[in-house]
Structure 1
Amino acid sequence: MGGPRNVSAGWVRSPRFWVSAVTVLLVAMIVAAAWPTLVDAARSLPLVNPGVMALLVPVQLASFALTGEALFSYLRARGELHGLRPLTAMRMSLEFNFANHMLPSGGAAGITYTSWKLASLGVPAAKGTLAQLARFAVTFLSFCILLLAAAAWLLASGTGTAAVLWSAAGVGALALGATIGGALLLQRRRALHRFAGVVVKVANWGANIVGRPAGVQTESVVRFFDGLHVELREILRDPRALRTPFTLSFLVHACDAGLFWIALAAFGLHADPALVFVAYGLATVTSMVVTTPNGVGVYEVVMIGMLVSGGLPDSLVVAAVTLARAILLLGTIMFGWAFYQHSVARSGRRGP
C-alpha cells in the first residue's frame, strides 16, 4: 500500500509534472482568450478562397525553419552545433517558436527555455543567450531597414496616410533604440554587474513570495553576465558570424508579413505589401510590449486598425486578420506543442 502512495507523491512533486500542467493551463487560457476570434474566423469561411488561404501553412513552416536557422547558423559560426541534423534543427525551431510565442512573459520565458535546451546540446548558457540576443539584434536591424523602405515607398507613391507613416517612424525608432541600448549595456561591465544585482534581488523576492528559500547567488549571475560581455566583445571583433543570420532575417520578415498579405488576398484584397509590412511591424512590436501569450487580442486590434487606416475595407480586413490569426495560432500550438512536451518529458532522463 505504501509503494503506490509514494509513487503518486513523487509524481506530484516532479518538476516535469508541474511544468506540463502549467503549460496545458496556459494553452487552455490562450484558446479561451482567442475563442471569439476563432468564432469570428469560422463565420468568415464562406467568403474565403481556400486555395489561397491554404498557403498560410507552408509559409508559416518556412518562417519557423528560417527563424531557427538564423540562430543555428550563428552558433555554428561560433563553433557550436556542427553535428545538428536538418530535421533536428527544424524540430527545435518549432519547439522554440512555441515557447517564445505561447509562454506569457514578453519573450523572456522563451529565451530562458531556448537557452536551457541549447545547454542540453553542450552550448554554454551565456553563449546560448547571447546567440538569441544577437538574432534579435539583426532581426530588429533588418526590420528597421525594411520599415524605412516601406515608409519611403508609401510616401513616394502618395498612398501612405499620416497615421501609417507616423506609426512606421515610431516603431522603427523603438526597434532601433532597443537594439542600440542593449548593445551598449552589454559592453559596459559595471552596468551589467549592477543589473545582475537587480536581477538577484527580484529573483529572491519572488522566491520569498512563493515561500521558497532565496537561492539565487549574486556571484553566479555576475559570471553569467560576464560571459555575455565577453561573447559580445568577440563578436564585435569579428562580426562575420552575423552575416547569415542577418540575411535570413529579411526572409523571416518577408514570410511573417506575407502571411497577412496571403490572408487578405484570400478575401480578394490585393493590399500594398508596404502597408501590410507596416501593419505587421506595429502589431508585432505592440504584442512584445504586452505579456499576453502570442499577443492575443492586442495584435489583431492593432493590425486591423492600421490596415483600415491605410484605406482597406474594414469588414473584409477584420475577417482576413481574424481568420489568419486563428489558423496561425492553431499552427503554432500543433507544430510546437508535441516537441515541447517531448523535451520536458526527457528533462529528467538527461541533464540539461
Structure 2
Amino acid sequence: MKWPSFKTWISIITAVLVAVIIWQAWPNVVDAWHSLSQVNLWIFALLLPVQLASYAATGESLFSFLRARGELRGMHPLTAMRMSLEFNFANHMLPSGGAAGIAYTSWKLSTLGIAASRGTIAQLAKFGVTFLSFSIMLAVAGIHLLISGGGSTSVLWAAAGIGVLALVGVTLGVWIFGRRRLLHRAAGVVLRVARWGMRVLRIRKTLEAVTLVRFVDGLHLEVREIIAQPRTLVTPFLWSFVVNACDAALFWIALASFGVYPDPALVFVAYGVATVASMIIVTPNGVGAYEVVMVATFVSGGLDPSITIAAIVLARAVLLLGTIVFGWGFYQHSVVTAKAPGLSRRGTVA
C-alpha cells in the first residue's frame, strides 16, 4: 500500500482545518442568514471590494519591502494580488497564532529565490510597521473619543493598553533580533525541544545545528541592514495605514448596512481590541473570541447589542467565506505543484 505524499498530507490537513473552522462558525452563518432581511444589500456589497483592497494592501506592505531590498522587481500586479490572497488565506486559516502562516509564506517566497531569513524578516517587518501605524491610528481614535465624549472609560483604557502593547512588542522584537548571542541561545532551545519531540515520535532524522544557526544569523544581519537603511520601511509603513483603515472599515460598512453609522474612532478601537484577542487565541481566524470581544467593545461604546451582534456576525461570516473562496485555490495550487510564478524573459516575476 502506497502512503500519500507529504504534499497530499498538507492538503488533507488544511482541508480538515477549513472544515473545522466552518463547523465552528456555522451557528454564526445561520444567524447571519436570518439577519439578511434587515440589511441594505447595496451598502453591504461594499464589503467585497474593501476586503480585496485590504488583501492587496497587505501584500504590498510585504512586497514593497522586498523590492526595496532588491527582490521581486517587475512582479506583475495580478501575480502580486494572487500571492496576497494566498498569503492571507494561510495567515488567517492556519492555526498557531500566525506562526504557520509565516512559515508558509517564507516557503513560498523561497520558491522565488528569496532566502528564508530575508523572507521571515520581511514578514516581521510588515507586522512591525503595521503595529506602529496601528498604534498611531489608535492614539488618534482614543483622543477623538476622549474629546468628543463618544467612548466609555473601558473603551479608552482598552485603546491605551493595546497601543502601548503594540509599541512594546515592536521595540522588544527589534531588541531581540539585534542580540546575536540571545538568538543563538534561543536556537539552541528550539533545537533541543525539536530533537526531544522527534525522539518521542520515533522520527529517524537528524537536525543539523549549523542550518539553524545560519538561519538566525541571517535574521540578525537582516535586522542590522534595516537599521542601517530605514528607508526600506517607508513604503511598507505607508501601506500599513491603508491595511488598518480597510480592515476597520469592513465593520463600519457592516453596521451601516443595518442603518447604524458609528463613530469611525469607536470602530477602530473595537477592531483593534478584537484583533489583539484573535492573536492571543490560537484558533484559526480567531473564531469565537474575535466576535465576542468586538461586540463587547461596541456595546460599551453605546451601540445597540442586538443590531451590533447581527452586523458583526454577518460580516465575519461573509469575510470568512471570502478568505476561503479567494485564497484556497491559490494555496492549494502552490502546495500541490510547489511551483513559483513564472519568470519573464527579462528575469522578472510574471
So what's the TM-score if we normalise by structure 1?
0.95
8 A contact 1:16–1:348 mirrored in 2: no
1:37-76 equivalent positions in 2, closer than 5 A: 37-76=28-67
Alignment of 1:1-352 (within 5 A): 9=2, 12-213=3-204, 215-347=206-338
Letter in 1 for 2:160: A
Q: Which amino acid aligns with 1:118?
A: L
The answer to whether the 8 A contact 1:135-1:245 is kept is yes
The answer on whether the counterparts of 1:204 and 1:214 sit within 8 Å (CA) in structure 2 is: no
Residue type of the partner of 2:55? Answer: F
Deviation string, structure 1 residues 117-172 (Cα, Å, up to 9, x no partner)? 00000101100000001111000000000000000000011111011001111111
The letter of the residue matching 1:132 is Q
C-alpha spacing 1:104/1:17, structure 2 compared with 1 (3 Å): same
Query: What is the one-letter code of the residue matched to 1:265?
Result: A
Residue-by-residue CA offset, 1:211-269 (whole Å, 9 max, x unaligned): 31353222211110110110111111111110100000001000000000000000000
Distance 1:349 1:68 in 2: 16
Shift of 1:201: 1.9
Amino acid at match of 1:140: F
| Residues 111 and 340 in structure 2, CA contact (< 8 A), matched pair in contact too | no
Query: Which one-letter code corresponds to 1:190 in the other structure?
Result: R
Instruction: Give the aligned residue type for 2:190.
Output: V
Using the TM superposition, give the Cα deviation of residue 81 of structure 1 relative to its aligned residue in structure 2, in angstroms: 0.6
Report the secondary structure of 1:213's partner residue: coil
Rounded Cα–Cα distance in structure 2 between residues aligned with 1:205 and 1:32: 34
Q: Secondary structure at the match of 1:51?
A: helix
Unpaired segments of 5 or more residues in structure 1?
none
How far 1:207 sits from its partner (Å)? Answer: 2.4
Structure 1 CA distance for aligned equivalents of residues 88 and 120 of structure 2: 15
1:274 deviates by 0.4
Residue identity matched to 2:13:
V
The Cα of 1:13 is off from its aligned counterpart by 3.5
* Deviation, structure 1 residue 176: 1.1
* Deviation, structure 1 residue 319: 0.2
Report % sequence identity. 61
Q: Tell me the residue number matched to 2:344.
A: none
- 3-state secondary structure, aligned to 1:97: helix
Aligned partners of 1:203 and 1:37: how far apart in 2? 38
Instruction: Give distance in 2, aligned partners of 1:205 and 1:59.
Output: 46
What 5-or-longer segments of structure 2 have no aligned partner?
342-350
Count of paired positions: 341
* 2-structure distance, mates of 1:240, 1:348: 32
Q: Is the 8 A contact 2:299 2:305 kept in 1?
A: yes
Provide the secondary structure at the position in 2 that maps to 1:44. Answer: helix
